[in-house]
A = this chain, B = another copy of it.
């Protein structure tokens, strides 16, 4: 086991009807900015629940944080916070709204000249406004971690940053808020959570039997419950299981003391930035291809995954069988696994590899994934 540090002070308030408890979770007398996305929370009643729970508090709304939250949109919220002397931000939505909130609360307190430095890592976050979240989509895990991914469409960029200063103070997870999601969005969420686990699990093997089994617990549950959500979108147990899995997939626990990959995410981010692919779609596309290219390096863990999670019998190439079963799961969830499934031209292979090359990234748990290897991976994702 590698040495590690684990810290996660997010208060999780989980279950039916929990939005009603909002008032006790927000500091007294705080002037609240409620941050929302494209409007779905207005249609499904979540916004009304939030408004009612805020009681006689003073609050206002900033709406329009888009999927893959954009720097320019977020900066408008920052301006509003400064203008109105907001004390507390409440993100109501999925991972994009919460990721946006993390950047916004940091940028609102940032004293340097260019807040983009927060995203690129040039600037260290010294302080941030407090914020909480009401989650409406099980997917990114942003509700219980200190990471965020911000896009800047004007620069074709999508980059992650992290800081302990941007942990949510609390996150309310009511599975009923996810009943009305379009099924493709639910499916992308399941795939996102599953790939978060695999990024931390399918690296090269290290002695960490507890972490392995904790990751396998998440994988088995996501693969068991995930497909049910397409058939029974209003089954409380299914929605609750998926929501709690997605949160724990990326709250830091299963990554303690082990090697982590994250190359699939970094390549996926570039595909999203360049071609507008949804995040979950980009992962379904990249992961199987990446695993095939890195099969020998990851063989021990792929075989363990095959045996313990997928229930495969020992025969032939177990690692390839595990990759094929993962790919089959993505398809079962209705996601494409080739560039052509999304109408993306094969030139994407070169475009994305070149971008990563230019950024000087070396990806993967061993930093072996370089430009040429990204080309090889995306070539596999463009094969028929």
Contacts and interface: CB of A to CB of B under 8 A. Distances in A.
Interface of A: 1-18, 207-210, 213-214, 216-218, 220-221, 224-225, 237, 240-241, 244-245, 248, 253, 256-257
A242 to B, nearest CB: 9
18 contacts: A1-B15, A1-B237, A4-B15, A5-B14, A6-B14, A7-B11, A14-B256, A14-B257, A15-B257, A208-B241, A209-B220, A209-B225, A210-B217, A210-B248, A213-B221, A240-B257, A244-B257, A248-B253
Contacts of A3: 14-18
Closest 3 CB pairs of A and B: A3-B15, A213-B217, A9-B9
If over half of A's interface residues share one DSSP class (helix, strand or loop), that class is named, otherwise mixed; here it is mixed
Contacts of A217: 210, 213-214, 216-217
Contacts of A245: 210
A63 B292 CA distance: 58
Given A1-B240, A3-B18, A210-B218, 6 more contacts: A3-B14, A3-B17, A5-B14, A9-B9, A15-B257, A207-B241
Given A15-B2, A210-B218, A253 B253 contact: yes
A172 to B, nearest CB: 10
Number of copies: 2
A225 B207 CA distance: 12
Contacts of A220: 209, 213
A244 B210 contact: yes
Nearest to A4: B14
Nearest to A237: B207
A5 B11 contact: yes
A11 B6 contact: yes
A317 to B, nearest CB: 27
Contacts of A15: 1-4, 257
Name which of A3, A13, A218, A224 has the most chain B CB atoms within 10 A of its CB: A3
A12 B2 contact: no
Contacts of A257: 14-15, 240, 244
Contacts of A7: 9-12
A8 B8 contact: yes
A3 B12 CA distance: 11
A75 to B, nearest CB: 31
A226 to B, nearest CB: 12
A212 to B, nearest CB: 8
A253 B244 CA distance: 11
Contacts of A209: 220-221, 224-225, 241
A250 to B, nearest CB: 14
Nearest to A16: B3
Contact of A210 (B11, B207, B208, B221): B221
B221 A244 contact: no
B216 A1 contact: no
A138 to B, nearest CB: 12
Nearest to A222: B210
Nearest to A10: B7
Contacts of A14: 3-6, 256-257
Contacts of A9: 7-9
A130 to B, nearest CB: 14
Contact of A213 (B11, B17, B216, B256): B216
A123 to B, nearest CB: 21
A16 B257 CA distance: 12
